[in-house]
């Protein structure tokens, strides 16, 4: 072959033409692969995929027939991945685009408790049990969640029910330690615990006061609210039928000098009206306080909205239950705190059941 200048120029021109063709072909393939990978792996790209630049000429010049085959296989593999992702997302692959818009989150129809409560349309973040009590549509375990009685106290309530309803033994009155006395000791106990926390390092004190300070400030008020509720609901919801005749004997009309316990109306209880005689919370004791805590979800609903925060009452009750469980032996003795009723009193119970239809 004659290697003159004309032949060399012709050969160089053919080489440059082949390189440009290969560069355009590989550049289109590279751009297509980059777009498909971005569509699969980057759902919300922040830049335009068409602005991707092709690879440098050094990489393009090293591409051979073997690389072209691998590129085509890669393209087909990526296209299959894109089609599978499109089917999974429920969109048509022919209309898919690497650019996708983010959907704005819609407003939840249910409350922010995410299914823990069945009260719709309330976006206020509240405690689960308190939320259910306030809206009067409680879940199955809302009452248990509010009082959360330990097994030790539940067993005591079962024994009490057996004593009164089966054996017809009623708790002695006045109790050795009244409800007012128990609540007073509980308030003193919590204040002493606060004083002990004040002796700890400052860092631990800060954590304690951030959580307990609002609660400790309202302790006396919460105790008074609990006593008012007990005084009002005691004859209707706390006493068993076997105890009602005795309670009626103690709450004779106020003009009688024999009245031991003064009767309370709804307005008197909530407005703090005073009168002659002892309050029921000054005569009844530990076991009646436990019975009240079991019906507390219904009693809390009786409070007016501007009376006191129901969440504070709930916190007060939960810590009170722990205190009662730890000091039960101090306030209650099952062998000495019950007395057997007389035959005359038994007849009165029978007459009362016939008149009222109470089982």
Q: Nearest Cα to 154, choosing from 355, 356, 325, 33?
A: 325
Residues 15 and 162 in one domain: no
Residues 233 and 300 in one domain: yes
Dihedral of alpha carbons 342, 344, 346, 348, sign: negative
**Residue 241 belongs to some domain of the structure:** yes
The crossing angle, in degrees rounded to 10, of helices 310-326 and 151-161 is 80
Q: Higher-confidence residue: 262 or 347?
A: 347
**Residue 212 belongs to some domain of the structure:** no
Share of the chain above pLDDT 90, in %: 21
Write the CA distances from 112 to 49, 122, 173, 224, integer angstroms. 39, 8, 48, 33
pLDDT of residue 311: 73
pLDDT at 16 over 60: yes
pLDDT at 325 over 60: yes
Exposed, middle or buried, 52 (CB in 10 Å: 0-12/13-18/19+)? middle
pLDDT of residue 139: 37
Q: What is the pLDDT of residues 201-242, one digit of tens each?
A: 666 556 656 666 667 778 888 899 889 889 888 888 899 989
Residues 167 and 280 in one domain: yes
| CA atoms of 347 and 343, how far apart (whole Å) | 6
Residues 153 and 136 in one domain: no
Residues 70 and 160 in one domain: no
Residues 233 and 277 in one domain: yes
Q: Nearest Cα to 300, choosing from 130, 122, 117, 113?
A: 130
- Quick one: tokens of 238? 């706390």
**Residue 13 belongs to some domain of the structure:** yes
Q: Mean pLDDT lowest for which of 132-141, 148-157, 322-331?
A: 132-141
Exposed, middle or buried, 340 (CB in 10 Å: 0-12/13-18/19+)? exposed
Query: By residue range, what is the domain housing residue 118?
Result: 108-140
Q: How far apart are the first and last CA of the chain?
A: 124
Q: How many domains is the chain partitioned into structurally?
A: 3
Exposed, middle or buried, 127 (CB in 10 Å: 0-12/13-18/19+)? middle
**Residue 38 belongs to some domain of the structure:** yes
Residues 62 and 116 in one domain: no
Q: What is the pLDDT of residues 161-200, one digit of tens each?
A: 999 989 989 999 999 999 999 999 999 998 888 777 767 7
Question: pLDDT confidence of 76, banded at 50, 70, 90?
Answer: low
Residues 131 and 155 in one domain: no
DSSP-derived letter for residue 149 is: -
**Residue 182 belongs to some domain of the structure:** yes
**Residue 326 belongs to some domain of the structure:** yes
Residues 124 and 160 in one domain: no
Residues 134 and 276 in one domain: no
- Quick one: tokens of 356? 């009222």
**Residue 231 belongs to some domain of the structure:** yes
pLDDT at 273 over 70: no
Question: With a threshold of 0.85, does the pTM exceed it?
Answer: no
Residues 72 and 153 in one domain: no
Residues 286 and 179 in one domain: yes
- Quick one: tokens of 177? 């330690």
**CATH label of the domain that carries residue 275:** 1.10.274.30
Identify whether the C-beta of residue 7 lies closer than 8 Å to the C-beta of residue 14.
Answer: no
**Residue 214 belongs to some domain of the structure:** no
> Quick one: average pLDDT of 298-309?
59
């Amino acid at each position: 072959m004659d290697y003159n200048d004309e032949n060399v120029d012709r050969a160089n021109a053919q080489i440059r033409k082949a390189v440009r063709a290969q560069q355009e072909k590989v550049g289109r393939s590279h751009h297509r692969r980059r777009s498909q990978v971005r569509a699969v792996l980057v759902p919300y790209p922040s830049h335009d995929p068409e602005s991707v630049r092709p690879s440098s000429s050094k990489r393009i010049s090293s591409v051979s027939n073997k690389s072209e085959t691998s590129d085509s296989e890669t393209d087909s593999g990526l296209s299959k991945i894109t089609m599978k992702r499109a089917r999974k997302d429920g969109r048509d692959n022919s209309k898919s685009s690497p650019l996708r818009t983010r959907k704005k989150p819609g407003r939840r129809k249910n409350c922010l408790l995410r299914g823990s409560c069945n009260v719709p349309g309330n976006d206020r973040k509240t405690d689960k049990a308190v939320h259910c009590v306030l809206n009067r549509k409680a879940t199955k375990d809302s009452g248990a969640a509010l009082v959360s009685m330990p097994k030790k106290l539940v067993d005591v309530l079962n024994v009490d029910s057996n004593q009164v309803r089966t054996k017809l033994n009623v708790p002695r009155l006045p109790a050795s330690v009244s409800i007012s006395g128990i609540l007073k000791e509980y308030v003193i106990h919590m204040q002493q615990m606060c004083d002990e926390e004040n002796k700890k390092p400052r860092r631990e004190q800060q954590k304690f006061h951030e959580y307990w300070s609002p609660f400790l400030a309202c302790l006396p008020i919460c105790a008074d609210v609990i006593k008012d509720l007990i005084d009002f609901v005691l004859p209707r919801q706390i006493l068993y039928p076997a105890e009602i005749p005795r309670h009626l004997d103690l709450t004779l009309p106020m003009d009688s000098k024999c009245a031991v316990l003064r009767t309370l109306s709804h307005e008197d209880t909530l407005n703090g009206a005073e009168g002659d005689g002892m309050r029921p919370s000054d005569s009844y004791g530990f076991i009646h306080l436990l019975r009240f805590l079991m019906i507390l979800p219904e009693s809390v609903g009786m409070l007016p909205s501007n009376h006191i925060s129901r969440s504070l009452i709930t916190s007060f009750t939960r810590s009170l239950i722990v205190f009662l469980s730890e000091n039960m032996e101090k306030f209650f003795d099952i062998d000495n705190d019950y007395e057997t009723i007389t035959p005359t009193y038994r007849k009165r119970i029978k007459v009362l059941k016939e008149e009222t239809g109470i089982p």
